[in-house]
Amino acid sequence: MIIELGSFALILSLMLSVAQTGLSAVGGARRSPVLAGAGQGAAIAAFVAVLVAFAALIHAFVVSDFSVANVAANSHTAKPLLYKVAGAWGSHEGSMLLWCLVLTGYGAAMAVFGDSLPPRLRAYALAVQGALGVLFLAYTVFASNPMARLLDVPVEGRSLNPLLQDPALAAHPPFLYSGYVGFSVVYSLSMAALIEGRIDAAWARWVRPWTLAAWSLLTIGITLGAFWAYYELGWGGWWFWDPVENASFMPWLIGAALLHSAIVTEKRGALPGWTAFLALAAFTFSMLGAFLVRSGVLTSVHAFAVDPTRGVLLLIMMGLAAGTGFLLFALRAPTLNPGGQFRAISRESAIVLNNILLSTATAVVLLGTLYPLIREALDGEAVSVGAPFFNLTFVPLMILAFAILPAGPLLAWKRGDARGVARRLWVVLAAAAVLGLIAYGIVQPRKALASGGLVVGFWLVGGALLELADRLKLFRVPAAESLRRSRGLPRGAWGTTLAHAGLGIFVLGASFETAWRVEAAQALSLNDSHALGAYTLTLSDVGTVEGPNYLAERGVVKVTNKAGTEICHAEPERRFYPTGAQTTSEVAICPRLLDDIYVVLGERRAGEGGKPAWLVRAYVNPWVRLIFLGPLIMALGGVVSLSDRRARLGVGRRAEEVVS
């Protein structure tokens, strides 16, 4: 009964979304508080219904109800509970339900927390959000229903791909989808404003918190995915420019551009059309990601293998949502007020330049992602686009963006003082250059480009700290005064500093790790050793262990430094999952302060004299921790900004009401 109730609830949520769309649209058009209020109620009710459906699906996974086709295909009784629960979103059908849950959740949040929005804007936004819900829920109900039942119930399930049975990946989709789908609110608010024909500073102020929330969650989601790829796939890397990785990166880039352009619209009323365009584009890229991952057009470790028919349906949905949005934009854009004027040297100009570079970078990633598909469609030739292309195209654009980044916040609105900013920043530039030169001098082998990358990283971190110091007048006024200023500083400013410094920390880690990673691979019998940079690895034992749903060979690899002191015992595993007969590598990581010693146990083979030997691959990944720490600091910056009283819609009004 529970799973059928879930099935009923899913259909109910579809119908409630239809009601939400109709009631909100008519309510907004006829200025009817009752209809608009009912639309808000329908948004909350649709979320409750999807929540019931999702809970029913999780229950089916937890109790291993293999009469549910999705459970039979993606679960197994021997799976640990965490992965049974995560199995609910580990498949295409289940993850579509998660998508719908987040989509309706944002609609409900807009209904509950949107009191500070003008009623008509809110009603139209809820109507658009409801229409998106209708599209995705209809697709889920009719084309990929996770509640579909089996008449011939198998005794056991086929289990979830072992690569996906990982804590980071259990948490990755909820964060990723909260980010992707968070842009739906921004899309809906943009559509509502375009229908109304009003895009101004107030609108930008309403849009920014949703953008911040979506972007921060997407940052965490992408970082978790990269971290999973790093320690689960066993190839030592963390980003492969895989099409599915790119699919999540494109909305992130556009979201970053939107965050900045919304500031210009909010503070100066300028760039309203461009900000609305980015708001539409951010969710369009989210939908493009969903299409790429699920249509079967891409081959990737992350992609769901789904038939092309469903892909065509997703393409139609994306065409409908994006086409309607951009058509409305094309009709309304000429009538929008261009807003405040600004000089070529100003904070607005810096942000415009940042937006141009981020948008061009997104276009480059899009081209690199779609080019293999286009070539295959045109002449049938299979090509792949990887790191060399992106290093030559994407990286230079980003270096340009990073070069101007520290200057932006130091420039005044409307008319900036370039010389004044240069005077303040030269110290940071000099310090970054000196640190880069030191790295070039002492880190072997010498690598000029990587040292240049470090200069960029130090420049970003230093620029962010200088801007903060500038705001606090650090060392220019007494410390007590700086402390007082720090207390008065809006949290949004702290968020900016954290986000920009986090970006610099990421650049430092990425430059150092990519250039100076050390790798060694050798077949080792028991008690054999091999050198890995400054370390020696000795395979001291290999035993068999039995996990809840796998058998594994576990190696014990002793890591010693040059002095012969033991640094750690790494225990990599080679796991065999009988269900599905899949073998995976479980990497062992010896964490140092910023570095990782990363050990992978390979297949057993015949070694010298017929003794068994194992291929042991190992890496020293210097500063790799910064690669994951940086984005988390960026996301923290987003959260801190979100907690700014200026971003908390309705707070100001409530406070005033209390005072009055």
**Using CB under 8 A, which of 231, 326, 389, 576 touches other proteins?**
576
Please identify, using beta-carbon distances, which residue of 446 and 473 lies nearer to other proteins. 473
Stretch that binds other proteins, among 199-207, 247-255, 281-289, 502-510 (CB under 8 A): 199-207
Site for other proteins in 455-484 (CB under 8 A): 471, 484
Please identify, using beta-carbon distances, which residue of 111 and 634 lies nearer to other proteins. 111
Please state the length of the chain. 660
Site for other proteins in 136-195 (CB under 8 A): 141, 145, 149, 151-153, 155-156
Stretch that binds other proteins, among 85-93, 115-123, 311-319, 635-643 (CB under 8 A): 115-123
**Using CB under 8 A, which of 77, 161, 529, 540 touches other proteins?**
77
Site for other proteins in 2-41 (CB under 8 A): 2-5, 7-9, 11-12, 14-16, 18-19, 22-23, 26-27, 30-41
Residue count, binding to other proteins (CB under 8 A): 89
Angle between helices 272-294 and 92-113 (to 10 degrees): 150
Stretch that binds other proteins, among 1-9, 168-176, 272-280, 373-381 (CB under 8 A): 1-9
Angle between helices 167-196 and 308-332 (to 10 degrees): 40
Distances from the Cα of 232 to the Cα of 202, 589, 628, angstroms: 45, 11, 15
Please identify, using beta-carbon distances, which residue of 36 and 214 lies nearer to other proteins. 36
Please identify, using beta-carbon distances, which residue of 26 and 373 lies nearer to other proteins. 26
Tokens, residue 386: 């990887």
Residue 30 DSSP symbol: T
Please identify, using beta-carbon distances, which residue of 155 and 378 lies nearer to other proteins. 155
Question: CB 104 → other proteins: shortest distance, Å?
Answer: 12
Please identify, using beta-carbon distances, which residue of 157 and 502 lies nearer to other proteins. 157
Phi then psi dihedrals of residue 515, to 5 deg: -80, -40
**Using CB under 8 A, which of 97, 101, 117, 450 touches other proteins?**
117
Please identify, using beta-carbon distances, which residue of 64 and 451 lies nearer to other proteins. 64
Q: What share of the chain is helix, strand, coil (3-state, %, to 5)?
A: 65, 10, 25
**52 interacts with other proteins by CB under 8 A:** yes
Please identify, using beta-carbon distances, which residue of 18 and 229 lies nearer to other proteins. 18
* Enclosing H/E stretch for 613: strand 612-621
Phi then psi dihedrals of residue 390, to 5 deg: -70, -35
Site for other proteins in 619-658 (CB under 8 A): 646, 652-653
Distances from the Cα of 21 to the Cα of 16, 39, 124, 198, 567, angstroms: 9, 7, 9, 21, 62
State the Cα–Cα distance between residues 10 and 17, nearest whole angstrom.
Answer: 11
Q: How far is CA 554 from the centre of its chain?
A: 33
**Using CB under 8 A, which of 201, 233, 399, 469 touches other proteins?**
201
**Using CB under 8 A, which of 171, 366, 443, 489 touches other proteins?**
489
Question: CB 615 → other proteins: shortest distance, Å?
Answer: 17
By the 10 Å C-beta count (0-12 exposed, 13-18 middle, 19+ buried), 547 is classed as middle
- The residues near 331 (Cβ < 8 Å, ≥ 6 apart) are none
Q: Residues 506-545 vs other proteins: string with x where CB under 8 A?
A: --------------------------------------x-
Sheet of 588-591: strand order equals 518-524, 612-621, 596-606, 588-591
Question: CB 200 → other proteins: shortest distance, Å?
Answer: 7
Amino acid letter, 466: L
By the 10 Å C-beta count (0-12 exposed, 13-18 middle, 19+ buried), 606 is classed as exposed
Site for other proteins in 56-75 (CB under 8 A): 60, 63-67
**Using CB under 8 A, which of 143, 168, 356, 412 touches other proteins?**
412
Tokens, residue 546: 């039995």
Please identify, using beta-carbon distances, which residue of 32 and 538 lies nearer to other proteins. 32
**42 interacts with other proteins by CB under 8 A:** yes
Question: CB 407 → other proteins: shortest distance, Å?
Answer: 17
The alpha-helical segments, DSSP class H, found in 385-417 are 387-404
Tokens, residue 456: 């960029």
Site for other proteins in 363-402 (CB under 8 A): none
Is-cis flag, bond preceding 388, omega within 30?
Answer: no
**198 interacts with other proteins by CB under 8 A:** yes
State the Cα–Cα distance between residues 625 and 513, nearest whole angstrom.
Answer: 9
Torsion sign across C-alpha atoms 113, 118, 119, 121: negative
Stretch that binds other proteins, among 266-274, 310-318, 418-426, 501-509 (CB under 8 A): 266-274
State the Cα–Cα distance between residues 625 and 483, nearest whole angstrom.
Answer: 31
Q: Residues 272-311 vs other proteins: string with x where CB under 8 A?
A: ----------------------------------------
Phi then psi dihedrals of residue 640, to 5 deg: -65, -40
